[in-house]
C-alpha cells in the first residue's frame, strides 16, 4: 500500500477494503525498518487517501518525521499539515 520515493510516501489504496481493514494494513506496513527510513524527514503523502488513513498517518508519522504534508489535488500542491 505504501511506496517510499525520496521524501514522498506514495499511497495505493487497495480495492474492496473497509476503512478498518485499510488501517490494519497500514499498521502492518509501518515496521521498525520503515520508521527508521522516515525518521526526521519532511515527508509528503501522495496519492488517494481516505480520511481515516490520513488521520492515522498524521498521528503515526508525527512521532517519526519532522513534518508531514499531504497533496491537495484541487490546488495541485502539498500542504504541510503536521509538524512539531
pLDDT of residue 39: 94
pLDDT (tens digit per residue) in 11-63: 999 999 999 999 999 999 999 999 999 999 999 999 989 999 999 999 999 99
Global confidence as pTM: 0.85
Burial annotation 36-72 (CB, 10 A radius, 16+ → b, else e): eebeebebbbbbebeeebeebbeebbeebbeebbbbe
Amino acid at each position: 500500500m505504501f511506496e517510499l520515493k525520496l521524501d514522498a510516501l506514495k499511497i495505493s489504496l487497495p480495492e474492496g477494503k473497509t476503512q478498518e481493514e485499510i488501517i490494519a494494513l497500514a499498521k502492518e506496513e509501518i515496521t521498525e525498518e520503515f520508521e527508521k527510513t522516515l525518521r526526521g524527514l519532511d515527508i509528503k503523502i501522495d496519492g488517494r487517501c481516505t480520511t481515516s488513513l490520513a488521520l492515522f498517518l498524521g498521528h503515526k508519522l508525527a512521532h517519526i518525521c519532522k513534518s508531514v504534508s499531504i497533496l491537495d489535488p484541487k490546488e495541485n500542491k502539498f500542504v504541510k499539515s503536521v509538524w512539531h
